[in-house]
């Protein structure tokens, strides 16, 4: 099961959002703390200014009235508030301490009793009474903190910009990963645009160069192999014609068998060297498996029985020529080296359509499984004289990858070799032009 967190973009999103959340929360805490400090300092400066102004007013113009909410109270007045206690909130304690620091030594500072307008009472050593001045509330009540609104707006904008940047960063890498997957499956791989950071451009450039060199090498090898195989067809035809004219029947039959084996090897070479995508129309795999099994039985009456187990349904379709070549090679391989019955099975799984061919023989040694699909590799030296070139499974794997599938070769638990090919669900929906340019339960014995 694919998870979004497993992708590069998903992890970039998690990192970016996590860092933005952490930074915004830290900045919010710092701004709130600094705002409280600034508010306290402003209130202290305002109170000091008013106290000094009242003192100047009393000294210079005692007969003039004081401004509203500013007054001088006698020392023995019952309205004088009591000394501040230790249960005072921290902001108010900080305000009183800062105010005492700004006033002369020995100044007594008290706050108005709760319930009345906020004011501060100041009595210095030279003051004849208490100077009462208003102060701004340190924490005015607010229905909504606007800072949170601005923080949410800035955070949303930053997240969108960061996600766009992360997408721009991972998009070239995703294109490169898709091209690597196509190249690994043997499908045509067009050059990947060289975009993104310098290191990614260098990586993309190296990949494009590697694809060009590998494609050129494969093309040269395919041309050479196809040329040799094609040039051998004419001498083989002449050799067979001359063999038919031999008088010795035993020698004639031996030469004809050898010529037929060589012709079969040449045909395998031509199929393996064919490097163009299959442009034939897709056909239902279940129906085609039935036709191939009947045709195989008709051509070889003494061949091993073929058992069909077709469960995929009509939605599973593959190009006709590719399907015929894969099944023909697998049936030839099973009949030559396996044991009856040979089972052709189709089914639908979570990861795609599955087409498998298995037999009930001895299978392949575990150490040789990795070499089974390599071209020109014969796992049994005794097979060399039977018209086999070691290309059967290699052709099957190449054909499966060419149409976007994967081929897995392994031994069955009950015994025998099984070749399972898995194809994506959309393989049959691809238009013919795209494939040319790139890439009910039933069981019976026939």
Q: How far apart are the two ends of the chain, measured CA to CA in Å?
A: 39
Asked whether the bond before 341 is cis by omega within 30 degrees of 0, the reply is yes
The CATH code of the domain that includes 397 is: 3.30.565.10
pLDDT value at 315 more than 60: yes
pLDDT in tens, 132-155: 888 877 665 454 566 677 778 888
Q: Average of pLDDT values for 401-423?
A: 86
SS3 230: helix
What is the count of structural domains for the chain? 2
**In-domain check, residue 227:** no
pLDDT value at 311 more than 70: yes
- What's the rounded Cα separation, in Å, for the pair 27 and 106? 39
What domain range is 335 assigned to?
Answer: 279-445
Better pLDDT: 322 or 387: 322
At residue 1, the pLDDT reads 43
**In-domain check, residue 245:** no
H-helix segments, 245-319: 249-273, 285-299
Confidence of residue 344 (pLDDT cuts 50, 70, 90): very high
pLDDT in tens, 321-341: 888 888 888 888 888 788 888
**In-domain check, residue 153:** no
Report pTM: 0.46
Of the three residues 119, 134, 149, the one that is the final residue of a domain is 134
> Cα angle at 427 between 425 and 429, to 5 degrees?
95
pLDDT in tens, 229-261: 667 777 777 777 777 777 777 777 777 777 776
Better pLDDT: 103 or 443: 103
pLDDT value at 355 more than 90: yes
Query: What is the phi/psi pair of residue 372, to 5°?
Result: -65, -35
**In-domain check, residue 147:** no
CA distances from residue 107 to 120, 123, 251, 271 in whole angstroms, order as listed: 12, 6, 133, 105
**In-domain check, residue 383:** yes
Give the best-scoring range by mean pLDDT among 28-37, 78-87, 117-126. Answer: 117-126
> Cα angle at 339 between 345 and 269, to 5 degrees?
75
Of the three residues 134, 157, 176, the one that is the final residue of a domain is 134
pLDDT in tens, 248-303: 777 777 777 777 767 766 666 566 555 555 567 888 999 989 988 888 776 666 65
- What's the rounded Cα separation, in Å, for the pair 220 and 226? 10
pLDDT in tens, 157-206: 888 887 787 777 778 888 888 888 878 766 778 888 888 778 888 888 99
**In-domain check, residue 421:** yes
pLDDT in tens, 24-72: 788 777 777 777 777 778 888 888 888 888 888 888 888 888 888 888 8
**In-domain check, residue 355:** yes
Of the three residues 104, 134, 164, the one that is the final residue of a domain is 134
- What's the rounded Cα separation, in Å, for the pair 308 and 357? 10
- What's the rounded Cα separation, in Å, for the pair 115 and 110? 15
**In-domain check, residue 425:** yes
């Amino acid at each position: 099961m694919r998870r979004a967190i497993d992708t590069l973009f998903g992890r970039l999103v998690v990192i970016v959002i996590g860092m933005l959340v952490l930074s915004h929360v830290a900045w919010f805490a710092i701004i709130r703390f600094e705002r409280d400090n600034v508010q306290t300092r402003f209130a202290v400066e305002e109170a000091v200014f008013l106290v000094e102004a009242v003192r100047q007013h009393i000294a210079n113009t005692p007969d003039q009235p004081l401004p509203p909410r500013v007054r001088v109270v006698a020392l023995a007045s019952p309205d004088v508030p009591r000394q501040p206690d230790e249960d005072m909130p921290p902001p108010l304690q900080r305000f009183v301490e800062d105010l005492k620091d700004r006033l002369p030594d020995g100044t007594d500072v008290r706050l108005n009793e709760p319930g009345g307008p906020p004011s501060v009472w100041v009595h210095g050593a030279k003051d004849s009474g208490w100077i009462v001045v208003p102060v701004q509330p340190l924490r005015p009540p607010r229905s909504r903190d606007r800072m949170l609104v601005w923080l949410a707006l800035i955070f949303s904008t930053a997240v969108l910009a960061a996600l766009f940047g992360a997408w721009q960063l991972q998009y070239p890498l995703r294109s490169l990963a898709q091209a690597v997957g196509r190249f690994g499956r043997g499908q045509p791989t067009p050059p990947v645009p060289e975009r993104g950071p310098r290191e990614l451009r260098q990586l993309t450039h190296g990949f494009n160069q590697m694809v060009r060199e590998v494609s050129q090498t494969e093309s040269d090898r395919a041309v050479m192999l196809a040329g040799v195989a094609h040039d051998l067809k004419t001498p083989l035809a002449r050799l067979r014609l001359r063999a038919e004219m031999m008088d010795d029947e035993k020698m004639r039959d031996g030469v004809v068998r050898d010529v037929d084996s060589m012709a079969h090897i040449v045909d395998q070479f031509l199929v393996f060297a064919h490097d163009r995508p299959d442009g034939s129309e897709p056909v239902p795999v279940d129906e085609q498996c039935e036709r191939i099994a009947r045709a195989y039985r008709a051509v070889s009456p003494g061949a091993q029985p073929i058992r069909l187990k077709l469960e995929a349904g009509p939605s599973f379709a593959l190009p006709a020529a590719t399907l015929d070549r894969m099944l023909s090679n697998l049936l030839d391989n099973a009949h030559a080296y396996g044991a009856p019955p040979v089972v052709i099975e189709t089914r639908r799984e979570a990861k795609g359509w599955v087409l498998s061919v298995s037999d009930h023989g001895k299978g392949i040694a575990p150490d040789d499984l990795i070499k089974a699909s390599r071209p020109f590799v014969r796992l049994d030296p005794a097979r060399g004289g039977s018209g086999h070139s070691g290309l059967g499974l290699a052709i099957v794997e190449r054909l499966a990858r060419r149409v976007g599938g994967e081929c897995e070769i392994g031994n069955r638990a009950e015994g025998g070799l099984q070749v399972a090919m898995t194809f994506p669900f959309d393989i049959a929906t691809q238009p013919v032009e795209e494939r040319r340019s790139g890439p009910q339960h039933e069981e019976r014995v026939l």
